[in-house]
A and B are shown apart, each in its own frame.
Chain A
Amino acid sequence: MSYLGDFELAEESVAEAFAVAARRWPGEGVPTSPAAWLVTTARHRAIDRLRRDRVLAAKLRLLAATVTETTGPATTGSAEADMDETEIPDERLELIFTCCHPALAPEAQVALTLRAVAGLGTEEIANSFLVSAETMKRRLTRAKTKIRDAGIPFSVPSGDRLPDRLAVVLAVIYLIFNQGYSAPGRAGHLATEAIRLGRVLASLLPDQPEPLGLLALMLLHDARRLARLAGADGQDLVLLADQDRSRWDWRQIAEAREVLDRIVDSRGPYLIQAAIASLQAAEPVDWRQVAALYAELAELTGSPVVRLNGAVAIAEADGPAAALAIVDRLDLAGYLYWHSTRAELLRRLGRGDEALAAYRDALALATTEPERRFLRGRIAEG
């Protein structure tokens, strides 16, 4: 894509190349290196179109320097058969950073990453995010148009620009993971896709610790997917402490811990979250250590949600009173888990009426069936 800088042209040229292959290969036989043939043919198709467009003459100069001419259909097979896989540059990193460019809206970054990097179909992506296929198609088209018209470059950010841009990529991948994690029935495959993207990113940026941190974090969360939900319809929420640990994917947990061991000299947010998740998979849980890690994470991010999660750990280590004092100081009145956490702590302190009120506030904010069911259950217990 770097030669073309235009998703639409690249996509259409590839589609035309596939069409040519479908016509010719059955009769002429498959070339020695089909992938290389397809790429070369797509480039030639694109070049033909670019030649007709004088405005893209500058790009054509770049193409002419890199593409070998063929003399016609008779020799196409042999000339391209000589081209081996290693000549095709790995532009996945450029693609990822382009899809996750900050000049694109977050939902466009997610959609484009799933479409262009993960290769998911438009309808599949639409279903995963509960929008119509038409809406998703428009979203993707707008994003590609913006890339072209605003001149978003197809490149990997260099030097001091990389950390901030990488943070956006990681956020997109984590968002995709959470979408799959929160709706396993409808979008469960997104968790697998996100993990795959995490692996690819870590392999393409071997010197960066945070992609490894994110990968470990996703592996740990995903390892518990079979134990999180129960009941005949799989819509009953099971809290961590009550989960059937034999249903956890221990191979995945081991892999996550191995990934974490690889990270040295780094204390980024994903790494810390992964370390917390790893500690929570142990039995018994070292809640004091968990609380300390949450404190470190809160320092890094300044996030009240992190402080809320840290308070839960403090409740386990030091009792509900200390935790409630922290929770009550947080400004999270619109956040479901703030209310549900308060409710839990009040319940443990024997303040039943206040707990009930907090559970009701939480229920009003719940968006998924497992959450609603769990909260209703707590309310019914009185």
Chain B
Amino acid sequence: MQYALLIYTKPETYESLSPAEREALSLEYYALRDEPGMLGGAALQPVTTATTIRLADGKPLVTDGPFADTKEVFGGYYLYEADNLDQATEMAARIPTLRIGGTIEVRPIMGQAS
């Protein structure tokens, strides 16, 4: 079964890290990409680079900023193939975001065995 591991981070926490610490974190993220079962993933640039599109009066309206102004922001994801939810949550537990106060949401991808 394929799962999305959705990464939510607290921007201030990340910003409070030293460049060396951020570098170490990056290496961990990349190392996880190479784990068996990992099918893909991407890190998103900071929320300051986000742009939102909605429909207003039937026409696309483009505005600055993320979908929602929240303390925790969506920062990236992995696509992971696992036998079951326990395997998926075990992989999610290794994502370094958790150690700096972040949260991972684990959700199965649509269109699979059910």
Q: Name A's B-contacting residues (CB within 8 A).
A: 55-56, 58-59, 101, 103, 148-153, 155, 157, 161
Contact = CB atoms under 8 A, between A and B. Distances in A.
Contacts of B114: 55, 148-149
Given A149-B108, A150-B108, A151-B108, A103 B85 contact: yes
B103 to A, nearest CB: 15
A56 B108 contact: no
- Among A148, A149, A155, chain B packs the most CB atoms within 10 A around the CB of A149
A152 B113 contact: no
Interface in B30-73: none
A161 B90 CA distance: 11
Given A58-B113, A101-B85, 17 more contacts: A55-B112, A55-B113, A59-B113, A103-B89, A148-B114, A149-B108, A150-B85, A151-B1, A151-B3, A151-B82, A151-B108, A152-B84, A152-B85, A153-B83, A153-B84, A153-B85, A153-B86
- Among A55, A101, A103, A150, chain B packs the most CB atoms within 10 A around the CB of A150
Contacts of A149: 108, 114
Nearest to A146: B85
B104 interface: no
Interface residues of B, number: 14
Nearest to A154: B84
B5 interface: no
Contacts, number: 34
A318 B86 CA distance: 50
Nearest to B3: A151
A55 B89 CA distance: 24
B88 interface: yes
Contacts of A157: 86
A333 B113 CA distance: 50
A56 B114 CA distance: 7
B85 to A, nearest CB: 5
12 contacts: A103-B85, A148-B114, A149-B108, A149-B114, A150-B85, A151-B82, A151-B83, A151-B88, A152-B84, A152-B86, A153-B83, A157-B86
A102 to B, nearest CB: 9
B92 to A, nearest CB: 12
A195 B83 CA distance: 34
Nearest to A55: B113
Contacts of B107: 150
A151 B82 CA distance: 9
- Among B86, B88, B89, B114, chain A packs the most CB atoms within 10 A around the CB of B86
Contacts of A150: 85, 107-108
A57 B52 CA distance: 42
Interface in B12-46: none
B105 to A, nearest CB: 12
A372 B113 CA distance: 53
A150 B2 CA distance: 10
A101 B89 CA distance: 12
Contact of B85 (A56, A58, A151, A161): A151
Contacts of A55: 112-114
A22 to B, nearest CB: 31
Contacts of B88: 151
Contacts of B83: 151, 153
Contacts of B113: 55-56, 58-59
A102 B83 CA distance: 18
- Among B1, B82, B112, B113, chain A packs the most CB atoms within 10 A around the CB of B113
The 5 closest A-B pairs by CB, nearest first: A153-B84, A151-B84, A151-B1, A151-B85, A152-B85
A149 B112 CA distance: 9
B33 to A, nearest CB: 22
Contacts of B89: 103
A150 B88 CA distance: 10
A375 B71 CA distance: 44
Contacts of A59: 113
A56 B85 CA distance: 17
- Among B3, B82, B84, chain A packs the most CB atoms within 10 A around the CB of B84
A92 to B, nearest CB: 19
Contacts of A155: 84, 86
A142 to B, nearest CB: 15
A148 B1 CA distance: 11
